[in-house]
Every structure is written in C-alpha cells, then in structure tokens.
Amino acid sequence: AQSVTQLGSHVSVSEGALVLLRCNYSSSVPPYLFWYVQYPNQGLQLLLKYTSAATLVKGINGFEAEFKKSETSFHLTKPSAHMSDAAEYFCAVSDDRDDKIIFGKGTRLHILP
C-alpha cells in the first residue's frame, strides 16, 4: 500500500536560510510524487510534481525537489526562505495519473525574522 512519511510536523528556519522539508514514500510501482502547500484559510496549491521525467523537479516560488529512488525520498528544498513561505506543506504520492492521492500528515513551516 502507498504511504507517505513527513519527518517533522513543525520546522522553523530563519528568513534567508535554507528550507529542507523531508518526505519518504512507499509505493509498489513507480510513483507520481507531489508537494502541495496550504496557506492559512486557503485551499491546497500544487508546488511541484514528479511524473517519471527529470529527477530534479522545479516548482513555483523557488521550490524544488529531488526524486531519489534508492532512498525512496522526495525532499523539498528552497535556497532562501521568505516570510511568505510560512504555510503547511504536504507531500503526496499516487500510483497512477488518474488515481487517488495519498497525503502525508503535513509539515508546518515557520519563518523566523
């Protein structure tokens, strides 16, 4: 069965510092992988997705993630954090392009001034 594990329910970084949000997945088939962001009182927005093309995926707002099959990981990074990045981030996996998405429990990112 598919599953997603996000390490750290809360992560705090200083403004301008590197953002690293960790995600490990399990899937019996080559997966589709996603990162979604949820700002307070707003809906889910897709940051980026991996669909078996390039292993380094660039998304919106300067975020990127690298698919590492050997580590079953899909960690999200951003070189320099902005205050506006404060939000809840969800890693997610799907077995197929028209299949349900399985979400992790989320990581709340706090940006310290």
Partner 1 sequence: GAGVSQTPSNKVTEKGKYVELRCDPISGHTALYWYRQSLGQGPEFLIYFQGTGAADDSGLPNDRFFAVRPEGSVSTLKIQRTERGDSAVYLCASSSLAGGAYEQFFGPGTRLTVL
> In the beta sheet, which residues pair with residue 55?
none
- Among residues 58, 68, 82, 100, which is the contact residue for partner 1, using CB under 8 A? 100
User: d(Cα 54, Cα 12) in Å, to the nearest integer?
Assistant: 29
Between 83 and 98, whose beta carbon lies closer to partner 1?
98
Residue matched to tokens 């205050």: 83
* Total residues interacting with partner 1, rule: CB under 8 A: 22
Q: Which amino acid is at 104?
A: G
Contact letters for partner 1, residues 53-92 (x by CB under 8 A): -------------------------------------x-x
Residue in 26, 20, 12 with CA at minimum distance from that of residue 73: 26
Interface with partner 1 (CB under 8 A):
4, 32, 36, 42-46, 49, 51, 90, 92, 97-106
